[in-house]
Every structure is written in C-alpha cells, then in structure tokens.
C-alpha cells in the first residue's frame, strides 16, 4: 500500500519540484545553467505533448515557435546591450536607423508579450486554416514541417533584420542587471522552475477536466466527437495555439540562460528532436515530456562532449527504438511495472483468502 501511494503522481511531482528547488546547492554554476536550459526545453515539451499526446496532432514545427519567442527576447536584449544604438550586424549591412519591426522590442514588457503572441498568432492562422478543412494526420504534420523550412529560410535570408546564420548574441543586461553574472543566472533558473511548475499545474487542471477528455476523444475518434456535437477543429486550433505560446515562453527562458539564438537551433532537426523528448518520456502524460526533455538533453550534452558524431546515430536509433518498442515511453514502462506489481499483490491476496477458506 505504501509503495503504491509513493508513486502517486502528485507525490512524484512534489519530489521533483523540491529536487529542482534545491539543485543550486549541489550543482556548479555551469551545470545549473545546463539544467535551467533543459527545463526550458521541458516547458516546451509539455506544450508539445498537450498537442500530440492528448490531441493526437503531431507538429514537427515547434522549433519555430520556440525560436520566435527566443528571437523576441533576444531582440530586446540586443537593443539593451547596444544602448539605443544600431546592433552591429545592421550597421554592417548598411542600415542607418532601426527598422520598423525592431521598434516595439525596445520595451521589455512589449517584447515579452510579443514573444508569446507572435508564435500564438502564427499557430492560430495555420491551425485555423488547416483544421477547419479537416486536414489532419500526416498532412498537417508535413505542413507544420514546411512552416519551419519557410520561416528558417526567411530568418537566414533577412540578414539585416535577424543577424542571418550567426543569429543574435552578446547580450549584456536585463532591466539593468547583468545577464551573465552567476546571481542573475540563478534568478533565471528559479524563474524557469517556477514557470515550469505553473505551466505543469495549469496543463494538469486543463487535461484532468472535461476539456482534456474531449481532447483524448478527438485523438481516438475525431468523427465520433463530431457526431457527439463537439467541433474538433476549434479544440485543435486552441491547443495548437496554446502549445505554440508555451513554446514561445520556453524560447524566451532559453535565450536568457544560453545567451545566443541562431537559426540552426530552431530548424527542422531541433524541431523533430523535440518530438523525441515527448516520445521517449511518454506521450499522453504530463510528467513524461519533462523527464524526456531533461534525459535526452543530458544524454546529448554527455555525448557531444565525448563523441559528437555518434550523437546523430544515437538520435536516429532512439527514434526507431522508442517508436517500435516503447510507444508509451519511460512512463509507460513505469505504469506497466506498477500494474504487474498490483496483479501480483492481487493474486497473492486471493491465495491467502483461499487458504483461509480451507481452514
């Protein structure tokens, strides 16, 4: 009985949260920074799982929403770093004054708001225009991937506006505080943990209620839901928009802690890697993606430190293995194990009662 209570989801969540809150005591600044980065990814993974694990819509384009959030924050930081002057890459490409689309990003609150609103707006339009026409499944997945290709090409091409392939970096201050000092990195870490907790809890409330049931219904039988009087396209559009907004938040937290954003971090391969976090952790649960994101990225950091070229083999192999052998991910293994234990307990108690009756 005690062991079963121990694995109650709420308890797992609290244990993880406490561990994360006390992590700064055990980790060096460098490792803490890495963990903060992984947690930013975990935030994104929750949003992606809401879309894929619960609603059954696979997006291979979340890197771009992440990137839009990250760029919004980076543009503000860049302007703050140059102190009202033109960023260096703009001067190099021969511009004399701040372009129109950069002007709102001078104000931190506007930049943060846009970092959430722009990805949400793009997702809303694409989602509305495709789901409305009942374009779903593989078709939508391909379109979402094409969106990445198009926007990344745009980011690389508009070098005078986005810094091209080298992206945006060399940030100095946020609200007047230095971005790179260990103290502010610590603050960013705690903010990330806080945001992760808030998003996790609100998504949990969302999926535990009737709304979540409708999402699962759409995943398992879209037409049945339609016959029952729900409009799946509204739900899908909403979840897609929501998960894009969450990805934008994750992107902003990422750029604060990593200090650089470039098109290679948001392209096709990073976008599809994000799907692996969810798949490996366990889709259809909220804790799974968090575990998956931290685990895969920790593995990636470990691999890249020692064998950079093997990471690609490993990544490819993981996709195949997870999909074929572990469709429910790590959390799936865990539930299976729990069920088996429970079954054993049940049979044991039956035998006991049998032996009693014999007496």
Partner 1 sequence: MTEMILTLFNGISLGSILLLIALGLAITFGLMNVINMAHGELIMVGAYITYLVQNIFMQYAPEKYFDLYFILSIPLALIVAAGVGVLLEVSLIRHLYKRPLDSLLATWGVGLILQQLARTIFGAPNVGVQSPSFLNGGLELGSITFPYSRIFILLLSLICLACIFYYFYRTASGRRVRAVMQNRQMAECLGVSTRKVDMLTFAIGSGLAGVAGCALTLLGAIGPTIGTSYIIDAFMVVVVGGVGALFGAVAGAFGIGIFNTIFEFLTNATLGKVLIFILIIAFLQWRPSGIVINRSRSLD
In whole angstroms, how close is the CB of 325 to partner 1 at the nearest point?
10
Question: Which residues inside 159-218 make contact with partner 1, applying CB under 8 A?
Answer: none
Q: Which is nearer to partner 1, 224 or 338 (CB)?
A: 224
**Closest distance to partner 1 from the beta carbon of 295 (Å):** 17
The stretch near partner 1 (CB under 8 A) out of 12-20, 105-113, 125-133, 347-355 is 125-133
Going by C-alpha positions, the residue among 314, 317, 293 that lies closest to residue 304 is 314
How many CB atoms sit inside 10 A of residue 287's CB? 21
Q: Among 274, 273, 280, 272, which residue's Cα sits nearest to residue 326?
A: 280
CB of 320 to partner 1, least distance (A): 4
Phi then psi dihedrals of residue 96, to 5 deg: -110, -25
Shortest spacing between CB 102 and partner 1, in angstroms: 19
Q: Is 279 in the site for partner 1 (CB under 8 A)?
A: yes
Distance, in Å, from the CA atom of 212 to the CA atom of 217, rounded to the nearest integer, reads 8
Applying CB under 8 A, which part among 36-44, 152-160, 231-239, 252-260 lies near partner 1? 152-160
The whole-angstrom separation of Cα 67 and Cα 251 is 6
Binding mask 38-67 for partner 1 (x = CB under 8 A): --------------------x---------
Instruction: Name the token pair of 119.
Output: 């990805």
- Note whether 265 and 255 are within 8 A (CB): no
Q: Which stretch binds partner 1 (CB under 8 A): 31-39, 76-84, 246-254, 306-314?
A: 306-314
Q: Among 157, 194, 209, 302, which residue interacts with partner 1 (rule: CB under 8 A)?
A: 157
Name the segment binding partner 1 (CB under 8 A); options: 27-35, 73-81, 285-293, 314-322. Answer: 314-322
CB 225, min distance to partner 1, A: 12
In the complex, what is the shortest distance from the CB of residue 151 to partner 1, in angstroms, rounded to a whole number?
A: 8
Angle made by CA atoms 72, 244, 261, in degrees to the nearest 5: 35
Any bridge partners for residue 169, and if so which?
260
What sign does the dihedral 252-256-261-264 (CA atoms) show? negative
CA–CA separation, 6 vs 20, rounded Å? 19
* CB 319 to partner 1: min, Å: 3
Q: Give one DSSP letter per residue of 213-265, joined into a string.
A: HHHHHHHH-HHHHHHTT--HHHHHHHHHHHHHHHHHHHHHHHHHHH-EE-GGG
Residue of 27, 117, 121, 143 that binds partner 1 (CB under 8 A): 143
Answer yes or no whether residue 92 interacts with partner 1 by CB under 8 A. no
299 interacts with partner 1 by CB under 8 A: no
Beta strands in the chain (DSSP E): 168-169, 173-174, 177-178, 260-261
Could you give the CA distance from residue 90 to residue 105 in angstroms, rounded to a whole number?
Answer: 15
| Cβ proximity to partner 1, 130 vs 192, nearer residue | 130
Residue whose CB is less far from partner 1, 122 or 249: 122
Give the shortest CB-150-to-partner 1 separation in angstroms: 5
User: Residue 275 burial by CB count (10 A; 0-12/13-18/19+): exposed, middle or buried?
Assistant: buried
Indicate whether 137 belongs to the interface with partner 1 (CB under 8 A): yes
By CB under 8 A, tell whether 307 contacts partner 1: no
Region 207-266 residues binding partner 1, contact defined as CB under 8 A: 221-223
Among 17, 86, 149, 187, binds partner 1 (CB under 8 A): 149
Q: In a 3-state reduction of DSSP, which class is residue 291? A: helix
CA 300/CA 258 separation, integer angstroms? 16
327 binds partner 1 (CB under 8 A): yes
Report the interface residues with partner 1, using CB under 8 A. 58, 126, 129-130, 133-135, 137-139, 141-143, 145-147, 149-150, 153-154, 156-158, 221-223, 268, 272, 275-276, 279, 309, 312-313, 315-320, 323-324, 327
């Amino acid at each position: 009985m005690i062991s079963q209570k121990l694995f109650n989801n709420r308890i797992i969540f609290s244990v993880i949260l406490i561990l994360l809150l006390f992590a700064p005591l055990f980790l060096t600044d460098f490792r803490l920074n890495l963990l903060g980065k992984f947690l930013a990814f975990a935030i994104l993974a929750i949003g992606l799982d809401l879309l894929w694990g619960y609603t059954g819509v696979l997006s291979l384009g979340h890197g771009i929403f992440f990137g839009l959030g990250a760029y919004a924050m980076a543009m503000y930081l860049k302007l703050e770093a140059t102190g009202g002057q033109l960023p260096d890459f703009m001067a190099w490409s021969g511009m004399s004054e701040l372009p129109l689309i950069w002007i709102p990003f001078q104000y931190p609150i506007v930049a943060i708001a846009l970092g959430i609103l722009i990805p949400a707006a793009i997702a809303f339009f694409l989602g509305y225009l495709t789901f409305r026409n009942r374009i779903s499944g593989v078709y939508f997945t391909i379109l979402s991937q094409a969106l990445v290709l198009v926007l990344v090409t745009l980011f690389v091409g508009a070098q005078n506006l986005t810094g091209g392939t080298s992206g945006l970096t060399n940030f100095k201050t946020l609200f007047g505080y230095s971005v790179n000092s260990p103290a502010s990195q610590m603050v960013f870490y705690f903010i990330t943990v806080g945001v992760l907790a808030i998003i996790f809890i609100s998504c949990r409330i969302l999926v535990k209620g009737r709304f979540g049931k409708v999402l699962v219904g759409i995943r398992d039988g879209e037409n049945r839901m339609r016959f029952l009087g729900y409009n799946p396209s509204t739900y899908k559009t909403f979840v897609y928009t929501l998960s894009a907004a969450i990805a934008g938040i994750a992107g902003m937290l990422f750029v604060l802690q990593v200090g650089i954003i470039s098109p290679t971090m948001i392209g096709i391969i990073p976008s599809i890697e994000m799907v692996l976090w969810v798949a490996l952790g366990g889709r259809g649960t909220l804790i799974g993606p968090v575990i998956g994101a931290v685990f895969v990225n920790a593995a990636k950091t470990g691999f890249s430190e020692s064998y950079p070229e093997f990471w690609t083999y490993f990544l490819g192999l993981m996709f195949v293995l997870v999909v074929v052998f572990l469709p429910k991910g790590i959390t799936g293994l865990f539930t299976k194990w729990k069920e088996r234990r429970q079954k054993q307990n049940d049979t044991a108690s039956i035998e006991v009662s049998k032996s009693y009756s014999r007496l």
